[in-house]
Amino acid sequence: MSAAKRDYHEDDIRAGLVGSVMGNDPVKANELQKIAVEESRLGIPLIIGFDVIHGLRGVFPIAIAEAGSFDDDLMERTARMAAEESRAYGISWNFAPMLDVARDARWGRVSEGPGEDPYLASRFARAKIRGLQGRTDSAETYVAACVKHFVAYSTCEGGRDYNTTSMSVSQLYNVYLPPFKAAVEEGAATAMASFMASFNDLNGVPCTVNAWTLRDILKGAYGMEGFVVSDANGIRECVSHGIAANERDAGVQAAKAGLDMDMGTHIFRDHLKKAIEDGLLPVEVVDEAVRRILTVKTWLGLFERPYTPEETIRAYAEALPESHAALCREAAEKSIVLLKNEGNILPIKRDAKVSLVGSLAGNAGEVVGAWSMGWEKKDCVSILDGLRNAGATVRYYPCGGPEGELNEDEIQSACNDGDVIVAVVGELISMSGEASSKADITLPGKQRELLERLTASGKPVVTVLMNGRPLALGWEAERLPVLLEAWHLGIQMGNAVASVIFGDVNPSGKLTSSFPFVTGQEPTYYNHPNTGRPAGKSKFTSKYLDAPAKALYPFGYGLSYTTFAYENLRVTDTGDSLDIAVTVRNTGSREGTEVAQFYIRDVTASLVRPVKELKGYRRVALSPGEAREVRLTLSKRNLGFYDNRGEYVLEDGLFRVYAGGDSENVLEQELDVRF
């Protein structure tokens, strides 16, 4: 696969040496496709891929945020929109969804995936596969997914990108494989999809040449019929890993292990033919790879319709469809998480004079987040624009941001002018995503100092966070009255933030990743295995001397402008299932939506199990005073786990069932379960 943006390798395409390219220019795509179809010997169309991770032109929230909507239908609709837009831009293959369960916020790529929980990540996976690929024979407006990164890439030691990973078989099967398995079950098993092998080594074997993960698990046990592509330059990197003597050796190992397409190097093209002639590689291996790639191209209809119609290209060149902007806004509104709202400072009155502070607030280019490349500036709404669109009286002070110095005069004026100060702080887009690991995940630059100065004014301060990873917010949570987690929400970010700030939208998003007090607590995640010495008062328990023994804000957490109470948890064993019911009551004074969450704990098992595991959730809209019974029928098959041979086991014994509005504040009931 050729990744060059400017050099499109026309001669190589003509010579039949290129089967896929990367790009999002539909005019260029048609030109290249014409060369492939009309001028190459076999006339096989190209498959054109691109990183459409959270939207192309209609950019919606980064995955770590969007999954926090706990709204599967929304996640499917945004993927569907991304697929439609992709096709209009000549792209038929999306390098998404990214399904790496990630628990170390130092890793910059936590932004790209659905968070720390394998169950939520599996629901996200299914929704995305449905949206991208549909369930249809006609793929005209659908794309082939490229599910990535297979596998365990997110467990890079110390959160340092590309670093080594090692883990037990049971951990791999219980935590990291489930979303990939779910994707396969939802449709990526058919020859409609592809997978991308990850850069990392897993227990010493790079995933690019890992026959166990690619052939045995993915293509064997899961029955994935599409193809596997390397990550960019992944085959060559096996030489750097020290697992291959040279490029040819790396190419042969990769092909034998089940890798079907080479991204970023010419290794397959330059070496496999000779390797077959020399008896180093059975020709059947290459035949199989070719068959897999051609079946995906066939499903996509590329042989019948290789070109993007001119009228489609023109339609998108004019303006982003309004329905796409509306969906981006809905997704952004549902992804915002209210972390703290002391004194109910939020929502603020529309006629309040607002001092808006921070360079991120006025920068429309910073709303889109990592891995977004098809957006247009004119579609992007900064927080400043959003507040103005909402009719706010706002004065803007760009002073203070992830980089740069503070400006005394601006701070003074901001403090003097407004009735309320809205401070937008966080990270630049470039601080999360690939190759953006951080050893310190507190607010970068002089932003704490800025917040300290603003709060010293005595005016109410609303802190809006724009970031691509969980931040260590212990300092902020102690000193600041309001924290609104707004992530990188995509092109409609400003409008969404304004709707929440003024109370047109009541926040309902929840955290998909636990936030620590301090960086040194990473990895912090709610579903950790228990220890023999769970954190407690005694010194000799599992904790740090200088940090609390829990997350600052745990998985599933998020406040609303109203309040919810959970009552009357009832669990009934119906033979094959557990019938779980809980009453959720809106105890506040305005309408709101709560994400009711159901967890379990396998109290005694033959392997140490997590202290809690998410098993279901429901979004419930409730008027003030309204109570509703929320039910979950949990099949007992979902109470098992994988052992260290990768076998799924169901063990009789004591279980705890929990229900609540986050992973910590829950009601619980214990019961003995027999299978």
How many other C-beta atoms lie within 10 A of the C-beta of residue 429?
Answer: 24
Tokens 């024979």 map to which residue? 137
- Whole-number minimum distance, CB 262 to ligand BGC, in Å? 13
Token pair recorded at residue 332:
């952004």
Residue 385 lies near ligand BGC (rule: CB under 6 A): no
Residues 198-217 that bind ligand BGC (CB under 6 A): none
Total H helices, total E strands in the chain? 19, 23
The identity of residue 219, as a single letter, is K
Tokens 């609709």 map to which residue? 77
Considering only CA atoms, which of 530, 552, 555 is closest in space to residue 541?
530
Chain centroid offset of residue 327 CA? 18
- Which of 71, 76, 231, 427 binds ligand BGC (CB under 6 A)? It is 231
Nearer to ligand BGC, 95 or 222 (CB): 95
Residue 232 lies near ligand BGC (rule: CB under 6 A): yes
Residue 672: exposure state from Cβ atoms within 10 A (0-12, 13-18, ≥19)? exposed
Residues 534-553 that bind ligand BGC (CB under 6 A): none
Residue 100 lies near ligand BGC (rule: CB under 6 A): no
Residues 6+ apart with CB under 8 A from 243: 201, 205, 206, 209, 250, 253
- Whole-number minimum distance, CB 435 to ligand BGC, in Å? 8
- Whole-number minimum distance, CB 618 to ligand BGC, in Å? 32
Nearer to ligand BGC, 264 or 523 (CB): 264
Query: Percent helix, strand, coil in the chain (nearest 5)?
Result: 35, 20, 45
Nearer to ligand BGC, 468 or 474 (CB): 468
In the residue annotation, 231 being an active-site residue is answered as: yes
Catalytic choice (161, 231, 260, 643): 231
Considering only CA atoms, which of 595, 514, 596 is closest in space to residue 554?
514
- Whole-number minimum distance, CB 441 to ligand BGC, in Å? 21
Residues 464-503 that bind ligand BGC (CB under 6 A): none
Side-by-side strand order, sheet with 627-635: 564-573, 577-586, 627-635
Q: How far is CA 64 from CA 98, 100, 336, 340, 459, in A?
A: 10, 11, 11, 19, 32
For residues 181 and 136, give the distance between their C-alpha atoms in angstroms, rounded to a whole number: 21
Residue 435: exposure state from Cβ atoms within 10 A (0-12, 13-18, ≥19)? exposed
| Residue 445 DSSP one-character state | T
Nearer to ligand BGC, 97 or 178 (CB): 97
Nearer to ligand BGC, 51 or 602 (CB): 51
φ, ψ (nearest 5 deg) of residue 674: -115, 140
Nearer to ligand BGC, 108 or 134 (CB): 108
Binding mask 433-452 toward ligand BGC (x if CB under 6 A, else -) reads: -x------------------
Residue 95 lies near ligand BGC (rule: CB under 6 A): yes
- Whole-number minimum distance, CB 64 to ligand BGC, in Å? 15
Residue 648: exposure state from Cβ atoms within 10 A (0-12, 13-18, ≥19)? exposed
For residues 1 and 19, give the distance between their C-alpha atoms in angstroms, rounded to a whole number: 7
For residues 337 and 509, give the distance between their C-alpha atoms in angstroms, rounded to a whole number: 5
- Whole-number minimum distance, CB 373 to ligand BGC, in Å? 9
Nearer to ligand BGC, 79 or 634 (CB): 79
- Whole-number minimum distance, CB 101 to ligand BGC, in Å? 16
Nearer to ligand BGC, 95 or 642 (CB): 95
Nearer to ligand BGC, 237 or 330 (CB): 237
Nearer to ligand BGC, 53 or 462 (CB): 53
For residues 483 and 548, give the distance between their C-alpha atoms in angstroms, rounded to a whole number: 20
- 606-634: burial string, b at 16+ Cβ within 10 Å, e else: ebebbbbbbbbbbbbebeeeeebebebeb
Q: Partners of 357 in the beta sheet?
A: 397, 423
- Whole-number minimum distance, CB 555 to ligand BGC, in Å? 24
φ, ψ (nearest 5 deg) of residue 344: 45, 50
For residues 176 and 156, give the distance between their C-alpha atoms in angstroms, rounded to a whole number: 13
For residues 340 and 338, give the distance between their C-alpha atoms in angstroms, rounded to a whole number: 6
Nearer to ligand BGC, 25 or 434 (CB): 434
- Whole-number minimum distance, CB 359 to ligand BGC, in Å? 28
- Whole-number minimum distance, CB 369 to ligand BGC, in Å? 14
Residues 147-186 that bind ligand BGC (CB under 6 A): 148
- Whole-number minimum distance, CB 263 to ligand BGC, in Å? 7
Residues 29-68 that bind ligand BGC (CB under 6 A): 51
Q: How many residues bind ligand BGC (CB under 6 A)?
A: 6
- Whole-number minimum distance, CB 253 to ligand BGC, in Å? 20
Nearer to ligand BGC, 453 or 488 (CB): 488
Hey, which bits of 137-295 come out as E strands? 144-150, 194-197, 201-202, 205-206, 227-229
Binding mask 122-151 toward ligand BGC (x if CB under 6 A, else -) reads: --------------------------x---
Token pair recorded at residue 9:
């390798």
Residue 361: exposure state from Cβ atoms within 10 A (0-12, 13-18, ≥19)? buried
Residue 237 lies near ligand BGC (rule: CB under 6 A): no
- Nearest residue by C-beta to ligand BGC? 95
Helix (H) / strand (E) containing 482: strand 482-485
For residues 146 and 600, give the distance between their C-alpha atoms in angstroms, rounded to a whole number: 32
Active site residue ranges: 231
Residues lying near ligand BGC in the complex (CB under 6 A): 51, 95, 148, 231-232, 434
